[in-house]
Structure 1
């Protein structure tokens, strides 16, 4: 097999994977986790069941891939790297905007609704959403706060509490109202104003002047 042929097959496999993830996301949102079968996902995606099972042997594998796709900060500006230390305001604004961008991705609210609805019967879904989705970004922010605190630019005694407070101020405006209010759709200016307010409030509490 030539390198060109190999690249072609990888491209085809990647395209089919994207179709499968899109179809599964739609079906999980429409039908719930329990009533969505891999065969139904394959049919919606327009791929064979053999291709379906080759890409994702189990429904749990498929759900994990969806969560990772939703929370992949590497596809956003700035990637998944921590901001350069030295200017807490600039760094926190960058992280806040990155977080809001993740929460505003199409389907993110639907993913949360589905996980919450299915959690009593499938608690592992909530664990996957937390461990592979929210927790890595939380740890990125916590590590950044620790770096700035160690350099004396922030005064943070409890980095877990501080991280929770910062991200909570953003998600409480950007994401959580969407879970109950279908019409909730604040614009870019409103989102940015919320992030700036959250950062200023945070710095008023934890900044070193």
Structure 2
């Protein structure tokens, strides 16, 4: 479903170039507009102006504002995932490994732009469920699977013991979440300091290892 009133021109082969410089320019422009105006307030005209391209060029790559926003969501989540899992999964310091992932995760979750993105996705998910599903799959689901792989490595090395690595992975992320992220989403809390993030993650690691450590 398109959120624009004008018909989108037919897309060409350029639509099949996900890493093209032009597509990156459009996503960069879309990021600035969506984060500034929100989903409903953003327009394809303004994205075109910000990205220094024509609106017709945007439609070569994206058929609608919904599709453009979905691509932005996937791009943001992909970058976050790469940053989160820049670790040595075979490290013999399990607590240190979990602490590194936890601090990276919580630091990312409380960033103002991430809070804005989550609010936008929640705001459009009922009208455009595909966007919500894409965010959930590329974020919590993918993050849980990647952490589960690391936990499975540690279990095979005899450092952890668990029956369901995926369930344990989501439990760890939830422990790191604490109430901090919810407070920010509802505008109740100020962003935590680095020291507060470390304290929250250290407690999450302690509880997690009490349940699954060997």
- Structure 1 and Structure 2 fold alike (TM over 0.5): yes
Cα RMSD for the two superposed structures: 2.6
Q: Structure 1's 186 and 165: CA in aligned 2 closer, same or farther, altered over 3 A?
A: same
Partner of 1:172: 178
What are the residue-to-residue correspondences of 1:84-99 with 2, within 5 Å?
A: 84-99=90-105
- Match status 1:134 vs 2:144: no
Q: Normalising by the residue count of structure 1, what TM-score does the alignment of the two structures yield?
A: 0.79
Q: Distance in 2 between matches of 1:24 and 1:184?
A: 23
Q: Distance in 1 between matches of 2:60 and 2:25?
A: 14
Q: Normalising by the residue count of structure 2, what TM-score does the alignment of the two structures yield?
A: 0.77
How far did 1:171 drift? 1.8
Task: Name the SS of the counterpart of 1:181 in structure 2.
Answer: coil
Count of residue pairs the alignment pairs up: 194
Q: Structure 1's 17 and 179: CA in aligned 2 closer, same or farther, altered over 3 A?
A: closer
How far did 1:203 drift? 0.6
Task: Name the SS of the counterpart of 2:112 in structure 1.
Answer: coil
Deviations 1:98-124 (A, max 9, x none): 212321333211221222222222221
Which structure 1 residue ranges, 5 or more long, are not aligned?
A: 1-9
- The answer on whether the counterparts of 2:144 and 2:169 sit within 8 Å (CA) in structure 1 is yes
What are the residue-to-residue correspondences of 1:85-164 with 2, within 5 Å?
A: 85-164=91-170
Which structure 2 residue ranges, 5 or more long, are not aligned?
A: 1-19
Partner of 1:23: 33
